[in-house]
Amino acid sequence: MKKTTWIVALVLLGCGLLASGCTLRAKEHPSEMSYSLPTTINVGIGETVPGTDIRFERSTEDGAYVRIKGQEALKRSGDSLNWKGEPLPGVDLTLKLRVAWQNEDAMQLVGTAKIEMSEVAPRIATISKDSELKFTGPVAYSLGKGAVIPGTTLTYEGRDDEDGAELGGLDEYPFRQVGDSIYWQGKLRDDINIRLELRVLQFDDRTLRAGGLVTLWLGNS
């Protein structure tokens, strides 16, 4: 299955869960945020897994040798490679990975990344995309009237019978129909950049449902 098909499936699943679960209410704008995202990481020989102290030492016929907490470990395809730490002050990162493949030049890891961030205050800004610590994955939101789209300064202001779903916090045309895009980029903190690429899935007088992709860049290289 193509990558884009997986992403659509995950977004629709998330929206189904949100439809039967909680809805973000008016003016919810927490100073702490977290994301749990699927991730794929490629590491060359002599390199470390970004944000961690795990180093890919060498490749052999038996598998990949990595150094974890100062000790060498042999990792073969399907083996776990987990890490938990604080790559930036106020950012907790939990990686649950497995070796997808390795060859004489590189190793690929797949799994999930949980990013927990404190002292968050979203704002519109020119973003930096230079950090090697980058994560992209699907998100889905169910927003009550007046609620803030997480990670942004945008709010859902309700439905206009003629023009569609109205967004607050924009200095441009604020209305969206089902299938229209909601694009936002800025900073969660000085050292955390964010981009949201959402689509309107459904809306009524009280609720907006949207899903798509979030990309985070942790740190400024």
Q: What is the pLDDT of residues 33-73, one digit of tens each?
A: 999 999 999 999 999 999 999 999 999 999 999 999 999 99
Q: Tell me, yes or no, whether 109 and 131 share the same domain.
A: no
Of 116, 145, 168, at which residue does a domain stop? Answer: 116
Rounded Cα–Cα distance for residues 208 and 215 (Å): 21
pLDDT in tens, the chain (221 residues): 444 444 444 444 444 444 333 455 555 567 899 999 999 999 999 999 999 999 999 999 999 999 999 999 999 999 999 999 999 999 999 999 999 999 999 999 999 999 999 999 999 999 999 898 999 999 999 999 999 999 999 999 999 999 999 999 998 999 999 999 999 999 999 999 999 999 999 999 999 999 999 999 999 76
pLDDT at 25: 55
Return the pLDDT at 21: 38
Same domain for 130 and 24: yes
Q: At which of 84, 116, 148 does a domain end?
A: 116
Q: Look at residue 76 in the predicted model and tell me its pLDDT.
A: 96
Question: Is residue 179 domain-shared with residue 201, that is, in the same domain?
Answer: yes
Both 130 and 25 in one domain: the answer is yes
Range of the domain at 105: 38-116
pLDDT of residue 27: 54
CA distances from residue 10 to 24, 139, 211 in whole angstroms, order as listed: 20, 8, 9
142 and 208 both lie in a single domain: yes
Say yes or no: 84 and 135 in one domain.
Answer: no
Please say whether the beta carbons of 94 and 80 come within 8 A: no
Return d(Cα 107, Cα 45) in angstroms, integer.
Answer: 8
What pairs with residue 59 in β-bridges?
64
Point out which residues pair with 167 in neighbouring strands: 156
Q: Is the separation of the CB atoms in 152 and 169 below 8 Å?
A: yes
Contact 85, 93 (CB under 8 A): yes
127 and 178, same structural domain?
Answer: yes
How far is the first Cα of the chain from the last one, in angstroms, to the nearest whole number?
34
Q: Please check whether residues 24 and 129 belong to one and the same domain.
A: yes
- End residue of a domain, out of 116, 144, 178: 116
What pLDDT is stored for residue 143 in this prediction? 95
pLDDT at 4: 40
145 plus 161 within the same structural domain? yes
Identify whether residues 27 and 129 lie together within a single domain: yes
The tally of domains found in the chain comes to 2
Q: Are residues 111 and 123 in the same domain?
A: no
pLDDT of residue 23: 52
Together in a domain, 95 and 164: no
Tokens of 19: 């439809």
